[in-house]
Structure formats: structure tokens, C-alpha cells
């Protein structure tokens, strides 16, 4: 642990771990709720290396650390044996139902996607070897490769039992045991029959539970509730084995008697509905999915389609829905290839090359976030061409017959039982068209001057000619409002400039925009504070209100994600001024340069009132 000694010293001087009721953190502070604050050695903590100061406010004992507070928080929790999941739980409770659904699906499926793609790629390789006559399905090489490719799908409930248990906070091995019971050979052999359990009829699904997804997720959800109840009533001395004993004894039969049959019926209906939508107009469905797929991915909405694809593969043996998105990566890659061919900006070209390589393998995040999305027009073009690829796949009636890799590794998944046919031809045509049309449209679309030349370098050189001694960076105002000196902020950490130099703004409008071109390096989970690093290296902290971390996200609506490349003037956050004030918190917003020590000086504006994007701070380099 990097901050183990500091963590131990902090715990000792807040009165020991026995004096800690709870611990959370915000952007810069550890926020303790202590049983007895008089036991804390405040002056010792203030003088400690690694601690900026101590603040007592709002019933919390706040130890100010700085930007690396998440790492210190993690080590304090490890040393003190504190749970680190409380903040996450409280945020999950505040999610709306749709966001909660997406969060659950991503939490269950994301950990297994890597091995899911890997085994799918092996199945695709095997399909190619069979289709080309290089192997027969009786060859031992084929059998071994098929075992590797099929291992996950044949025992999928066990894998999902683990990931779902982790998401629903059930003992992971209990989750795996439930999954294993569902694919137990004797149970699998009962597929399509009706049996009894203690005289109660049990209808087994016709295709067994081997590659299903809905029944195991619902079973684990139920098991998490049962386990939580049992932990409250079972004596500690026998809890280790009695809790899983009773959980399995209750949940597994209920899964076979109720959850499984109901989930199977629901899965069949879901497959019928998605197929009916697709059959209504494969072309329109393809245009829609292909055109908006990258937007779905950006907002995490694609997780809502992944279970549909998994369900269709299990029920129907194929999926045409997610298949419509497969060639989108080639549209994005074609656009980036055109940018690389056009630009003379060395920095931009250096970003394009690795993005093109990863794009061919289906990983388009570097291209989206680093190149096309910040420039808007290239991203819109990639979506338009993505719609074209989806429409082509709809015309050919293309569908995937297995889960495979992404990009070029996804192409073999279009080989079905009939071998290379119209479905496979569709993905080949769509991929080539996406690549070529994306390149052509972008090549004849005008780029900004700074992307076409080394404009940024030229500007710096011109500035150096004018002033060989001093360079500067202008930070525009992220908020419309009244400008206040930092020392008027009712928080001694900010007012004393302990976190950096800057000014404060009393907002007149509940909107935060980016003051620079750069990266949104920090967006705190409660959304009350943002950290931005400009392209020139200035680190800017925008902290909306005082002690607003206590609102736990209420009154704040983020418009960007941590890690996004952002442009000056881009809306990053909206907040409810009246709601914050009604909750009893001031909305005074410090805007500071947290790495002020790296600069000669930070000069604030002389204006008393300021609009968004007007000059607020000048950083002297």
C-alpha cells in the first residue's frame, strides 16, 4: 500500500479505528464520522506530512488530503478494516429504474466479456476450418478446439453465478453452486420433461439451462435476499456453513420450480418480440441500430441489447439484432484513416495510427473519445456510415450464430450451420463499404485549421517571438455569476488557498462548462466537483457549493463522463441552485488551479460579474 504509514497515522490520531463510525471521501478530503471528536488529535493531524489541514463541519471530521485522496482513502479502509462500498450502495439506491437495470446488466456481463470474446473467437476459427475443409468435425484437433470454444457456453450459468453474486453481494461460491446445479449433467438430461420435487411438478426447459442468462441472474438476485435475511437470524457460531446450506436448499428448488419456467417463457417471448421487430423491417432495424450504436455504447445503453442477443442465441440459435452493429467499427476506422491521411498535425496523426489499429479489432473508444467525438463532424459522419452498414446487414438478413470477438474477429460468427452463405456475405460487404465510404466522406469533409496544420505549434512559436520570457494560458469562466475573492469562501481550506490559487463564483445559472480544451480527469460520483486538465497542463478544480457532497448527487446532472476529451464551452454539469440552497448548502463555487505551485503566478479577473467563457484566470508559465 502506497500510503500505508500515512493511513496508520491518520487512524491513530482520529482516535483509533474503534472511534470511527463511518468514512467517506470527496475530491480532496477524508470525511470521518467519529464517535467522540474529543479523542482526535487535531493539531497533530494538521502538522502531519501528507495532510493539508483538518476541518470540522456538518457533523463530520474532515481531514484534507488533496487530489490523491482516493488512494489514501483506500489504504485507510484497508488498515482500519472498513468497507469501501457504502458510497456506491447509496448511489445505486438513488438510480432510476432504467439506470439501475443498465448498471446491473453491465456489472453481471462486463467481467466475463473478455473470456466470452476469446472463446467465441476460437469457435469462429473452428467454423472457418470446417467451412474451408481443413478440418472435419470428427478430427481430434476440432474436438479439442471445440471444447475450448464451447466450455463457457456449456457452463455459462456458473460464470454468471459468480459475476451476478458479486454484483448482488452474495457469497460468490454460493452463486457458482447455484449455477452448477442448473447445468448438472443429470439435470441437463431432463431437458424438455416434467418431473416432481416433493410432489410439486417441475417443468424443465426444452433446451436446458446451459447457455441461458435470465434464470441464473434472477436466481442469484433471490439468493442475495435470502442470504441477507439468514445472516441476520442465524447465530454467528454456525453462520459459515448454515447460511449457504439454507440458501442453496431454498433457492435451487425454487429456481427449478418457478424462476426457471417463468424466465424460460419470458425469454422465449423476448426472442419472439425482438425477432418480430426485426422481421417488420430488417433494413430499418439495421439503420437504427447501426446509426446509434456508438451513442448507445457511450451512454452504456448497449448493455440493454446484450442480454437480448444472448437470449436469442440460446432460444433461436442466432441473433440479428446485435449483428446489425458489428460493422460500425469499420465505419469509425474509415473516418479516422481519412483524418490521418489529410492532417499535417503530427500530434493528431500520432493519435490516429493506434486508433486505426485498435479499430480493426473492434475497439473504437480511442478513436471516438480521442479523435472523432471532440471534433463533432467526424463522429456524426461515422454514425451516418454506421447506419449504412447496419442497413446493408439488414438487406442481407445477416445474423450471428455465436458470440465471438469484435472487429475482424467477429466476422466468423456470421458463419452458420449452412456454412458460408448470404449472412456471411452481408458482413463482408458491410465491413468493406463502411471502411471505404467512411474514408471517402471524411476525406472530402473540411477539418478545422488546427487539425489540418501544425497550427497549435505555430501559435506557440509566434507567442514566443513576441515574448521570449513569459508564456501564459487563459482559463475562461465555467459559470455565469458574481466573482468573489477566494478568501471570502466560507471554508478555511479554500479560503486559505491550501488547495491552490483561484477565485470563487456565486452562480446565477446552474450550468458548468469547460473553461479549456482538455480532459475531464475527475468527476466525483456525487457530481458536485470536477477536475479538468487542460491541454497545456493546468489542473483546474471546480467545486460547486460547500459541503454539497452531502447531497449524494441530488441536484446535480452530469453531461460528460470522467476521462472524456472536452472542448472549451462544452457543458459538463447542470445543477439546481434553488434545490441546493433549500437543502441548506451555499452554492459559492471555487475555481482553482490545483497545481498552482508549477506556475509563476495565477492572476484573477478584475470583473465583478462574469459570463460563461469570458476570461477568468490567467496562468503565468
State what percent of residues in the chain have pLDDT above 90.
35
User: Which regions of the chain are under pLDDT 70?
Assistant: 1, 26-27, 57-59, 67, 83-103, 105-106, 110, 113-114, 116-117, 120, 124, 206-207, 211, 264, 267-272, 274, 297-304, 363, 365-366, 369-370, 404-405, 448-471
Cell of 168: 448482488
Within 13 Å and on the Cβ side, how many CA atoms surround 95? 16
Q: Are residues 582 and 531 in the same domain?
A: yes
499 in Cβ contact with 518 (< 8 Å)? no
23 in Cβ contact with 78 (< 8 Å)? no
* Domain assignment of residue 157, yes or no: yes
Report pLDDT digits (tens) over 8-67: 999 999 999 889 988 887 667 788 888 888 899 998 998 888 887 787 765 678 888 876
Instruction: Quote the number of domains for the chain.
Output: 4
Three-state helix/strand/coil letters over 74-119: HHHHHHHCCCCCHHHHHHHHCCCHHHHHHHHHHHHHHHHHHHHHHH
Q: Are residues 228 and 319 in the same domain?
A: no
- Per DSSP (E only), the strands in 98-238 are 194-197, 200-203
Q: Taking the mean position of all CA atoms in its chain, how far away is CA 523?
A: 12
Query: Any idea what the CATH number is for the domain that residue 489 is in?
Result: 2.70.70.10
- Non-local (6+) Cβ contacts of 157 within 8 A are 178, 179, 180, 182, 183, 209, 210, 212, 215, 216
Distance, CA of 78 to CA of 8 (rounded, Å): 10
Q: Are residues 258 and 378 in the same domain?
A: no
Q: Are residues 41 and 161 in the same domain?
A: no
Instruction: Decide if 151 is catalytic.
Output: no
Q: Are residues 256 and 329 in the same domain?
A: no
The pLDDT value given to residue 99? 60
Q: Are residues 432 and 497 in the same domain?
A: no
Q: Are residues 526 and 579 in the same domain?
A: yes
**Coarse DSSP helix, strand, coil percentages of the chain, rounded to the nearest 5 percent:** 55, 15, 30
Q: Are residues 251 and 304 in the same domain?
A: no
Cell of 93: 439506491
Report pLDDT digits (tens) over 282-295: 899 889 889 988 87
* Domain termination site, one of 55, 84, 113: 84
Reported as type and span, the H/E element at residue 449 is helix 449-452
- Non-local (6+) Cβ contacts of 316 within 8 A are 271, 275
Nearest CA to 304 out of 322, 320, 287, 279 is that of 322
**258, 373, 442 from 445: Cα distances, Å:** 58, 15, 5
Phi and psi angles of residue 576, each rounded to the nearest 5 degrees, phi first: -95, 100
Cell of 197: 420435487
Flag whether the pTM goes above 0.75: no
The pLDDT value given to residue 95? 52
Distance, CA of 25 to CA of 8 (rounded, Å): 17
Look at the block and give the residue holding cell 472463446.
Answer: 119
* Domain termination site, one of 84, 118, 148: 84
Q: Taking the mean position of all CA atoms in its chain, how far away is CA 456?
A: 32
Containing domain of residue 305, as a range? 278-451
Q: Are residues 260 and 293 in the same domain?
A: no
617 in Cβ contact with 475 (< 8 Å)? yes
Nearest CA to 337 out of 387, 385, 405, 286 is that of 385
Report pLDDT digits (tens) over 455-467: 444 444 444 444 4
Q: Are residues 612 and 582 in the same domain?
A: yes
Cell of 423: 449472412
Q: Are residues 605 and 536 in the same domain?
A: yes
Ordered alpha helix ranges (H), 299-444: 306-315, 328-342, 346-360, 365-367, 373-375, 377-396, 422-443
* Domain assignment of residue 91, yes or no: no
The pLDDT value given to residue 93? 47
Amino acid at each position: 500500500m502506497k500510503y500505508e504509514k500515512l493511513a496508520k497515522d491518520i487512524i491513530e490520531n482520529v482516535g483509533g479505528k474503534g472511534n470511527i463510525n463511518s468514512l467517506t471521501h470527496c475530491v480532496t478530503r477524508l470525511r470521518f464520522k467519529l464517535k467522540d471528536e474529543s479523542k482526535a488529535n487535531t493539531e497533530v493531524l494538521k502538522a502531519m506530512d501528507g495532510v493539508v489541514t483538518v476541518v470540522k463541519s456538518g457533523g463530520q471530521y474532515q481531514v484534507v488530503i488533496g487530489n490523491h485522496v482516493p488512494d489514501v482513502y483506500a489504504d485507510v479502509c484497508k488498515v482500519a478494516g472498513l468497507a469501501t462500498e457504502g458510497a456506491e450502495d447509496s448511489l445505486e439506491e438513488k438510480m432510476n429504474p432504467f439506470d439501475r437495470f443498465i448498471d446491473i446488466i453491465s456489472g453481471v456481463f462486463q467481467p466475463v466479456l473478455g473470456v466470452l470474446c476469446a472463446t467465441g473467437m476460437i469457435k469462429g476459427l473452428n467454423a472457418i476450418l470446417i467451412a474451408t475443409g481443413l478440418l472435419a468435425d470428427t478430427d481430434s484437433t476440432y474436438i479439442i478446439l471445440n471444447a475450448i470454444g464451447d466450455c463457457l457456453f456449456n457452463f455459462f450459468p456458473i460464470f454468471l453465478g459468480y459475476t451476478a453474486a458479486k454484483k448482488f453481494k452474495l457469497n460468490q461460491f454460493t452463486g457458482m453452486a447455484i449455477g452448477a446445479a442448473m447445468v448438472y449433467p443429470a439435470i441437463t438430461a431432463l431437458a424438455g420433461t416434467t418431473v416432481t420435487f416433493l410432489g410439486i411438478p417441475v417443468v424443465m426447459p426444452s433446451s436446458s439451462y446451459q447457455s441461458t442468462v435470465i434464470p441464473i441472474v434472477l436466481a442469484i438476485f433471490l439468493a442475495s435476499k435470502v442470504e441477507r435475511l439468514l445472516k441476520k437470524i442465524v447465530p454467528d457460531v454456525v453462520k459459515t456453513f448454515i447460511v449457504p446450506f439454507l440458501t442453496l436448499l431454498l433457492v435451487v428448488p425454487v429456481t427449478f420450480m418457478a424462476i426457471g419456467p417463468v424466465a424460460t417463457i419470458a425469454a422465449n417471448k423476448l426472442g419472439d418480440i425482438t425477432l418480430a421487430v426485426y422481421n417488420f423491417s430488417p433494413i430499418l432495424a439495421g439503420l437504427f441500430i447501426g446509426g446509434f450504436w456508438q451513442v448507445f455504447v457511450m451512454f452504456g445503453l448497449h448493455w440493454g441489447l446484450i442480454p437480448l442477443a444472448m437470449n436469442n442465441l440460446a432460444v433461436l440459435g442466432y441473433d440479428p439484432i446485435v449483428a446489425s452493429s458489428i460493422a460500425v467499427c469499420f465505419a469509425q476506422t474509415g473516418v479516422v484513416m481519412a483524418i490521418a491521411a489529410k492532417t499535417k498535425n503530427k500530434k493528431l496523426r500520432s493519435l490516429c495510427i493506434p486508433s486505426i489499429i485498435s479499430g480493426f479489432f473492434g475497439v473504437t473508444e480511442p478513436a471516438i473519445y480521442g479523435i472523432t467525438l471532440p471534433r463533432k463532424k467526424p463522429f456524426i459522419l461515422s454514425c451516418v456510415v454506421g447506419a449504412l452498414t447496419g442497413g446493408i446487414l439488414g438487406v442481407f438478413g445477416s445474423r450471428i450464430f455465436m458470440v465471438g470477438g469484435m472487429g475482424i474477429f467477429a466476422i466468423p460468427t456470421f458463419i452458420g450451420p449452412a456454412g458460408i452463405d448470404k449472412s456471411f456475405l452481408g458482413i463482408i460487404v458491410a465491413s468493406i463499404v463502411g471502411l471505404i465510404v467512411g474514408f471517402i466522406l471524411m476525406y472530402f469533409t473540411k477539418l478545422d485549421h488546427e487539425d489540418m496544420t501544425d497550427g497549435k505549434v505555430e501559435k506557440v512559436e509566434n507567442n514566443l517571438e513576441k515574448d521570449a520570457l513569459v508564456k501564459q494560458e487563459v482559463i475562461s469562466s465555467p459559470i455565469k455569476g458574481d466573482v468573489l475573492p477566494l478568501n471570502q469562501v466560507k471554508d478555511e481550506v479554500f479560503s486559505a488557498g491550501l488547495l491552490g490559487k483561484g477565485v470563487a463564483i456565486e452562480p446565477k445559472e446552474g450550468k458548468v462548462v469547460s473553461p479549456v480544451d482538455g480532459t475531464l480527469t475527475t468527476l466525483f460520483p456525487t457530481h458536485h466537483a470536477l477536475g479538468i486538465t487542460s491541454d497545456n497542463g493546468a489542473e483546474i478544480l471546480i467545486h460547486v457549493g460547500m459541503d454539497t457532497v452531502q447531497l449524494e448527487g441530488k441536484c446535480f446532472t452530469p453531461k460528460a463522463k470522467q476521462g472524456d476529451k472536452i472542448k472549451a464551452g462544452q457543458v459538463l454539469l447542470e445543477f439546481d441552485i434553488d434545490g441546493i440552497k433549500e437543502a441548506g448548502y451555499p452554492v459559492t463555487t471555487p475555481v482553482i488551479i490545483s497545481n498552482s505551485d508549477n506556475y509563476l503566478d495565477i492572476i484573477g479577473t478584475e470583473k465583478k460579474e462574469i459570463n460563461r467563457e469570458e476570461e477568468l484566470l490567467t496562468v503565468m508559465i
